[in-house]
Amino acid sequence: MKIVRNRMKFTNKILYYPILILTVFCIGLLLLSAYSSYFYPKDYPYLAISGLLFSVFLVINICLAIIWLFICRRYVFTVLMAFLLCYPQIQSYISFHFHTEKLPEGSFKILSYNVMRFGHLKKNNNKNTILTYVKNQNADILCMQEYDVSKNNDYLTQNDIDDVLKSYPYR
């Protein structure tokens, strides 16, 4: 029985310390990537672009927190502390919208939409789904990327779009 316990302690140490070192390293990378916008790109080019890997380091640290839940729960708090330090960046990366306030009076709605040439679809009796969506949004300002129409009447033309979006005076 004593031999088995000694083997388990040895095995735990073999797993425990490398995971602990990996956790500290990944927490450091998470913090560096979270605050990479504060590094001047000319002086610190690699640190400045490390923010592009923020999501990767966030997922790695979430996995490490789950691992620590099973190995040693007290080290979960180190990962959670790193999450608290990165909370503003996490909040901007993963938007949480818990409030359901009504829009203030005088506010306006902006819609930016990639219309992908309106789907290159031939006209038929059905309405174009992209145009229907854009019209139903009832935005005050409408910005459309990849806007292109055909001169061939078998496809969507400028006149067709003007008919649907006639509520927008400036096109």
At 121 the pLDDT is: 72
At 108 the pLDDT is: 87
Find, among 69, 57, 51, 52, the residue nearest to 25 by Cα: 57
Q: Is it the case that residue 62 has pLDDT exceeding 50?
A: yes
**pLDDT class for 97, splitting at 50, 70, 90?**
low
Lowest mean pLDDT among 18-32, 60-74, 146-160: 146-160
CA distances from 122 to 29, 152, 160 (A): 51, 10, 12
Round the CA-based radius of gyration of the chain to a whole number and report it.
27
Q: Is it the case that residue 1 has pLDDT exceeding 70?
A: no
At 2 the pLDDT is: 55
**Residue 68 identity:** W
d(CA 8, CA 14) in angstroms, rounded, equals: 10
- How do residues 64-82 score in pLDDT, each as one tens digit? 999 999 888 889 999 999 9
Q: What is the mean pLDDT of the chain?
A: 86
d(CA 140, CA 136) in angstroms, rounded, equals: 12
Residue 15: which residues within 8 A CB-CB, separation 6 or more? 71
SS (H, E, C) 106-129: CCCCEEEEECHHHHHCECCCCCCH
Find, among 118, 106, 167, 107, the residue nearest to 142 by Cα: 167
Distance spanning both ends of the chain, measured CA to CA: 82
**pLDDT class for 128, splitting at 50, 70, 90?**
confident
